[in-house]
Amino acid sequence: MNNLQKTLLKLKKEKRKAISVFLTAGYPNIKTTEKLILQIEKYANIIELGIPFSDPIADGPTIQYSSQKALENKINLEKCLSIVKNIRRKTSIPIVLMGYFNPVFNYDLKKFFYASMKAGVDGIIIPDIPYEESLQITKLAKKYNIAFIPIVALTSGINRAVKISKTSTGFIYVTAITGITGARSELSKELIPFLKLLKNKTNKHLLVGFGISKPEHLKELKNYCDGFIIGSAIINKIKNKESVTNFLKYLTKTL
């Protein structure tokens, strides 16, 4: 059992909701990314570190922007792993890498998982890998003790969602909206019924992301999931040079 899995079990036992915060690695620069992780760990339980990619199909304008700026700063997969390695000297907070398949494949799958393990990565999300093609990834993740985190969309349908959930060795990333990432004022009306159904059919941890940006979202959903992933709203704060920690305190006040 790795650090992410232990953290999720501990939070569930204590009846607390997991807070996972997304940062784009190297945005606005490596130093700031590392500084933010250390600041955020007081208010979050998990860090999701995005690997910049030129064609992030699941991401909206906010994360696309941060990814492009990171690429302009010459951030690559090797440097993302270096960030994790550097941070591991200062904190044990679980770190999940979120990366599209192309950079991971080009790096070499075995090399990627081995290097991730050595750096101190606890989990992996690859949003453009369909369930039918995930076997090699899940095998390597298991071999190197890295939790595999699948994404379940509202459009998946409950039967497919249950199949996908069986591949999870960390948590299940449930999208709160249909479409791409981005802070939203309203979440899908289909979300709570979907979460109720899925929660009855799996004992895996359900974390909700895509669009989570207001305390009202957490208050509305906290009885139907195990935690939340906050991404675009955080990137907006960084972009506008506003306090990320103050925002997290405000956002989580209803928990």
What pLDDT, on the 0 to 100 scale, is given for residue 184? 47
Quote the tokens at residue 244.
């990320």
- Cβ(147)–Cβ(154) below 8 Å: no
CA distance 33 to 37: 6
What pLDDT, on the 0 to 100 scale, is given for residue 178? 57
What pLDDT, on the 0 to 100 scale, is given for residue 225? 97
What pLDDT, on the 0 to 100 scale, is given for residue 179? 47
Q: What string of pLDDT tens digits covers the 255 residues of the chain?
A: 899 999 999 999 999 999 999 999 999 999 999 999 999 999 999 999 999 988 766 677 899 999 999 999 999 999 999 999 999 999 999 999 999 999 999 999 999 999 999 999 999 999 999 999 999 999 999 999 999 999 999 888 999 999 999 999 999 999 986 544 544 456 778 999 999 999 999 999 999 998 899 999 999 999 999 999 999 999 999 999 999 999 999 999 989
How many CA atoms are closer than 13 Å to the CA of 229, on its beta-carbon side? 28
- Cβ(228)–Cβ(209) below 8 Å: yes
Q: Write down the residue that tokens 């059919």 correspond to.
A: 201
What pLDDT, on the 0 to 100 scale, is given for residue 56? 66
Long-range contacts of 155-160 (CB under 8 A, 24+ apart): 158/194, 158/197, 158/198, 158/201, 160/131
Instruction: Give the number of residues written for the chain.
Output: 255
CA distance 80 to 75: 7
Look up the domain containing 236 and give its range: 3-251
Q: What CATH number corresponds to the domain at position 87?
A: 3.20.20.70
What pLDDT, on the 0 to 100 scale, is given for residue 187? 76
- Considering its fold, how many domains does the chain have in total? 1
Q: What is the pTM of this model?
A: 0.94
59 assigned to active site = yes
190 assigned to active site = no
What pLDDT, on the 0 to 100 scale, is given for residue 28? 96
Catalytic one among 34, 41, 59, 226?
59
Catalytic one among 14, 34, 41, 48?
48
Residue type, 127: P
CA distance 194 to 102: 31
Q: Which distant-in-sequence residues (6+ apart) come within 8 Å of 18 by Cβ? A: 7, 8, 11, 45, 46, 171, 205, 207, 226, 227, 228
C-alpha dihedral sign at 227, 167, 141, 97? negative
Residue type, 62: T
What pLDDT, on the 0 to 100 scale, is given for residue 177? 66
φ/ψ (deg, to 5) at 74: 65, 30
